[in-house]
């Protein structure tokens, strides 16, 4: 199964590494608030980054978590926001830090 991707702020990833799990759904929303963690394919990543962080000027650098779905111990579903729309990977639970196989700096 191909890797999935999640863009976030470096400090949020650092906190997750200390805790053992990553639990942010999307910019400014937690897994508990949203019900799942928004991810993307490699091809979807630029559009997602522009949508969520296009005007980002925060203090942290942005990073992309490269997640190996085989290492998840929670459900992964590909779902569209609307019927017939583009499907995105959603992780229904915390992402264990061991499932993150690489961290890339976002340009």
Query: pLDDT by residue (tens digit) across 74-88?
Result: 999 999 988 999 999
* 31-52 confidence digits (pLDDT tens): 999 999 999 999 999 999 999 8
Domains in the chain with CATH codes: 4-105 (3.20.170.20)
CA 23/CA 96 separation, integer angstroms? 9
Q: For 55-78, how does the pLDDT look when each residue is reduced to its tens digit (9 = 90+)?
A: 888 778 999 999 999 999 999 999
Residue from 55, 52, 49 nearest 105 by CA: 49
pLDDT for residue 81: 85
Q: Are 40 and 6 in contact (CB under 8 A)?
A: yes
């Amino acid at each position: 199964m191909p890797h999935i991707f999640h863009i976030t702020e470096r400090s949020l990833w650092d906190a997750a590494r200390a805790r053992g799990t990553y639990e942010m759904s999307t910019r400014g929303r937690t897994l508990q608030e949203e019900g799942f963690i928004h991810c993307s394919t490699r091809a979807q990543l630029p559009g997602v980054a522009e949508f969520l962080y296009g005007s980002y000027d925060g203090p942290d650098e942005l990073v992309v978590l490269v997640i190996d779905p085989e290492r998840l111990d929670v459900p992964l579903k590909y779902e569209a926001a609307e019927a017939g729309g583009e499907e995105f990977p959603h992780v229904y639970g915390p992402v264990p830090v061991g499932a993150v196989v690489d961290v890339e700096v976002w340009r």
